[in-house]
A and B are shown apart, each in its own frame.
Chain A
Amino acid sequence: MRILLGLLMLGLTGIAHPQTSQQPFTITISTDKPQVKSGDPVYIETVMTNISDHDFDCTSYGSNALDRNYRYDVTDEQGPVPKVKRKYPEIGETGSSFPCIIKPGESAHAAGGLISVLYDFTRPGKYTIQVSRPVWGDDQRPGTVGTIQNNRPDVKSNTITITVVGPEAPAAEPK
């Protein structure tokens, strides 16, 4: 019986999100190219799903090809991957805010984008990517869940793996 339970739990870990039922939304990330050549762009897609009984804020902020309203956690076999150093960090980047509301039970394609603009994926190896987002809404928008000032834990996505191969290796076909 104990063995069976262990097997069941093992089977579930592949699809489970590290989120609890109290969280008002889920984040699912994916990529159409799980294997890329060193130096190739790395894209991720993010989908937010409202599992609460309220409207929810899914605003994205597009800046330099990536939705910056998420926190991105990228690691490789050697640990956390540092962000790409910008040449002039003091001047900031351009961007546009895209207000967004998800109705209960609905999903929103909340941008994602070119994550390789933020992290260096040139070193061959396996990279894991997870994104998170605070639970925040807008005090001026009745019906949304929470406010920016709340203390709820961030909602975390599933984790995906990107394999970066040397430039001489053939890249895998998209899934």
Chain B
Amino acid sequence: MSSTVGLEGANCPVVVRVNVDTGSVSLSVNSQDQARIKASVVPDPSDPTETACVTAEVFFPLVVRAAESANATPAAGAAGSQCTDPDGNQGITVQILGAPEIQCDPSMNCTQPVISTTDGTPPPAQSVVVGQQIRLTTIPAATDLTALGLSFSKNTWTVDGTNIGGYPVSTASATVTETVLDKPDITFYWVYPKDENIPVTYKYCVDIPGADADGKCSLTARAAFTVSGGGKMSNTPYKKLTIDQLIPCVDGVPPKSGGTKSPFLVYGNITGYGCTAVYPGSTFGISFQPSGAQSGGTYSYVQLLNSDTRTLNTISCTTSQGVDLSYPYAGIIPATNPPQAEDAPNFGLPDHYVVTRSFNATMFLLWTSNVPNSIPVPIGYQTWGFTGSAEQNSSEKWKATTDGTPGPIEGFKLSKDNQQTDGYTTLHYGYPIWNGPAVETCN
């Protein structure tokens, strides 16, 4: 397939042709000055990476440089090398960079394997959910170029919408990693839904000695996605601190027999043992109810302790900021679907002490799609707490006092990409992050 352009130069007419083995290309030519012309070779979107032969019918000092169209360069290792087209015309070899294609990983169930366009037509939008792994590969692959004696010099992705490379999380730590945008393939996750299509683009460049910058890079492949998600969380707080009589545990577990009840200061009203509340039968200090997320996923929780201070006569105890016990949050009320979280902080009251406690935590609601390889995404958070005290009267009977209104502090906050703090700890794209669990120290 060849393309021909005639040019009336200042000195003489010139006919420039370009010939490729596969597909088709277009050609434009303009006069740079009396001694030079510039030929621009533009491949069709379907044209593969290959070499082309550019010829000029009237030869004068012709230098074929990288095309302004950014898609043709002097062939690798053969810049300016001679070639012969099928008509026997002598010319110069140039490198055609095939239009890239963005392909969906099969696990994503896209509408078709190739989801991108390069000719300006709108790409078919792919429907995904928040937290779903978006794994895209591209053509040409590095091996395709290697077979032609070429290699990538640069790979450039652009991904709109709030996206991350991952959320490595454990009890020990939680961080957010950024999306890697400079590799031939890409894996990332959208964190938040968006009403309109979210564009993704990709192009690549090849380092060819002698070619100018434009000529080293491919056309831009464009794909589009719609991202769905959502949800919210409500809470049910108990109204006060309570003195509950619980059976103390022995060596961390309930005694195998007997046991004498002793007083605990509890946010809520629980029965059972000092190390295990009976449920049903106990009322937690606060419980959290999720709703609104689409089907095909599961809720989970993370609770971060912001502060927890106790005084027991002259002893003062403080708790470091961190995740509450473990990730994910373990306090899920049995037989709730969707799962509801609860907390009823408590501690045993030692005789002859006057105690105070001020507790502040933030409960985060997350959602994880059932699509394989998905990660949890934050839906929102609720800060809550309580402050109160307890002391014995003259007959050694304990009485609890609740300061203010325990439970939620302000309202439920939807997670957002620009949230850098919940007012207590650092957030990253709305994700809770931490460096270890909260630990109490007494002095």
Q: List the interface of chain A (C-beta within 8 A of B).
A: 32-33, 41, 43, 45, 59-71, 86-88, 90-101, 109-114, 117, 133-134, 136, 138, 140-141, 148-151
Contact = CB atoms under 8 A, between A and B. Distances in A.
A125 B324 CA distance: 30
B398 to A, nearest CB: 14
Contacts of A94: 308, 310, 317, 319, 345-347, 357, 440
B12 interface: no
A148 B325 contact: no
A91 B312 contact: yes
Interface string B350-374: 1001000100000000000000000
Interface string B299-326: 0000000001010100101010010111
B326 A67 contact: yes
A94 B442 CA distance: 11
B257 A149 contact: yes
Nearest to B265: A94
Contact of B333 (A63, A99, A117): A99
Interface string B403-438: 000000000000000000000000000000000111
A45 B257 CA distance: 29
A90 B276 CA distance: 20
Contacts of B330: 60, 62, 67, 98, 100, 109-111
B343 interface: yes
B353 A91 contact: yes
B315 A88 contact: yes
Given A91-B315, A140-B281, A96 B276 contact: no
B113 interface: no
B439 A99 contact: no
A119 B171 CA distance: 18
Interface of B: 170-172, 249, 251-257, 270, 272-282, 308, 310, 312, 315, 317, 319, 322, 324-326, 328, 330-335, 342-348, 350, 353, 357, 436-440, 442-443
A62 B342 CA distance: 13
Nearest to B308: A94
A43 B325 contact: no
26 contacts: A41-B172, A61-B276, A62-B324, A62-B326, A65-B437, A66-B325, A67-B326, A69-B252, A71-B253, A91-B312, A92-B350, A94-B345, A94-B440, A96-B343, A97-B270, A98-B331, A100-B330, A109-B326, A113-B171, A114-B436, A140-B281, A141-B279, A141-B280, A148-B255, A148-B256, A151-B256
B252 to A, nearest CB: 4
B347 A140 contact: no
The secondary-structure label for the interface of chain A is loop
B328 to A, nearest CB: 7
Give 9 nearest A-B pairs by CB, closest first.
A62-B325, A65-B437, A61-B275, A97-B277, A99-B279, A68-B252, A98-B331, A101-B334, A92-B348
A99 B344 CA distance: 11
Contact of A87 (B273, B274, B335, B443): B443
A64 B439 contact: yes
Contacts of B442: 86-88, 91
A99 B274 CA distance: 12
A92 B351 CA distance: 12
Contacts of B251: 71
Nearest to B359: A94
B276 A99 contact: yes
A99 to B, nearest CB: 4
- Which has the most chain B C-beta neighbours within 10 Å: A63, A95, A99, A136? A99
Given A97-B270, A149-B257, A69 B325 contact: no
Contacts of A43: 170-172
A74 to B, nearest CB: 14
B256 to A, nearest CB: 6
Contacts of B322: 65
A109 to B, nearest CB: 7
Nearest to B277: A97
Contacts of A33: 172
B293 to A, nearest CB: 21
Contact of A109 (B328, B344, B353): B328
A79 B275 CA distance: 28
Given A100-B332, A111-B326, A149-B257, A95 B346 contact: yes
Given A92-B347, A98-B330, A100-B332, A117 B281 contact: no
A55 to B, nearest CB: 9
Contacts of A148: 254-256, 273
A33 B330 CA distance: 22
A9 to B, nearest CB: 33
Contacts of A45: 171
Contacts of B270: 97
Given A61-B276, A99-B333, A41 B436 contact: yes
B184 to A, nearest CB: 27
Nearest to A64: B440
Contacts of B324: 62, 96
A90 B440 CA distance: 15
